[in-house]
Amino acid sequence: MSISLIVGGGGFIGYSLVEVLLQRGSRVVVVDNWSRGSKDNLTPIIRRYADQITFETGDVSNFQNNLALLDAINKRGHISEVWHLAANSDISAGVEDCSIDLKDTFMTTYALLQAMKVLKIPILNFASSSAVYGDMGDLLISESSGPLLPISNYGAMKLASEALISAAAEAYLERANIFRFPNVVGTPATHGVIYDFIDRLKINQTVLRVKGDGTQKKSYLHVSDLVKAMIALSDRSLSAGQKLSLTNIGPIDDGVTVRWIAERVVERVNPNAKIIFGLGNRGWVGDVPQFRYSTDLIRSYGWRPSLGSHEAVILAINQIANQFDF
């Protein structure tokens, strides 16, 4: 039976993806450097699907490492596809020090592709990001929107990865599926606006300080919907000769403001806490203040999210509050 290799599978999105792939009966190998991901995240899954899942520790930003690791896995059972989720998820850290995004977000893509080329692994599924679009103001952003001018090194290295995958699809891959993620919420949370707010309220239950004036508006998708979309897109037949698909994944609505999220977090965790907003509509360098995301393409394939931005955020607040024992 062929193997689905989930690179960065120990992280937030990896957890949900691995679970659904195992439920579908796939044989899964999770590779992670466990710097941000954790095997603990996957413990409940491991118990249920022990015969379908194995784990590897590896730094996938190095080609020679990848060649040795993927070759060894290939010898236990053919790797039919790679899901590449490994990245630096801390956008602010990457703005300060670009070498983090270079290594963890871009060189992982480069070095995985080089190993896949040598080992003739045919399919790559790639977790890209709406951050590739940069700040497009009021524009309703579709897959054909341009120019692509990311404003964070995270977005830059995701776009750089897409570009390399596109060239690889032309030259040697059988198929590449690029998914541009919106903001994704759910558990096991390790970062993101909801996580940060609840984390701050864990330290100081009476005051929630918000970076920026709270008017930043973005759409949010629950991770359960995201993973269903990724799998639906990877299952989809492409037209003859087409080797690459590129698709925005996101909810249908225009999203919610940071202010609305802060208010809902406070309601759930401590209704007496006071919210104090900062200045300006960018939370940090590299933050996009507002964001309108067209999901016409994926909806034309028949996909619908089960939760809109509001419902996804409410569910995630509850899940993350539970994670923090609130």
Q: Find the shortest distance in angstroms from Cβ 96 to a copy of itself.
A: 9
Phi-psi region of 323 (alpha: psi -120 to 50; beta: other; left: phi over 0): alpha
Q: Which CB atom, from 41 or from 89, has the smaller least distance to a copy of itself?
A: 89
* Among the listed residues 214, 224, 288, the one whose alpha carbon sits nearest the alpha carbon of residue 251: 224
Nearer to a copy of itself, 143 or 254 (CB): 143
Q: Which residues contact a copy of itself (rule: CB under 8 A)?
A: 95, 98-99, 102, 106, 110, 113-114, 132, 134, 143-153, 155-157, 159-160, 162-164, 166-167, 170-171, 244, 246, 285-286
Closest CB to a copy of itself among 114 and 224?
114
Which residue lies nearer to a copy of itself by CB, 67 or 151?
Answer: 151
Could you give the CA distance from residue 268 to residue 283 in angstroms, rounded to a whole number? Answer: 23
Please state the closest distance from residue 93 (CB atom) to a copy of itself, in A.
13
Q: What are the backbone dihedrals phi and psi of residue 226, each rounded to the nearest 5 degrees, phi first? A: -60, -45
From residue 147, give the alpha-carbon distance in Å to each of 133, 143, 150, 173, 297: 8, 11, 9, 26, 19
Helix (H, G, I), strand (E, B) or coil at 204: coil
Residue 159: CB minimum distance to a copy of itself, A: 4
Least distance to a copy of itself, CB of residue 223, Å: 25
In the bound state with a copy of itself, the residue whose beta carbon lies nearer, of 110 and 291, is: 110
Alpha-carbon distance of 292 to 282, in angstroms, equals: 16
Cβ of residue 150: shortest distance to a copy of itself, in angstroms?
5
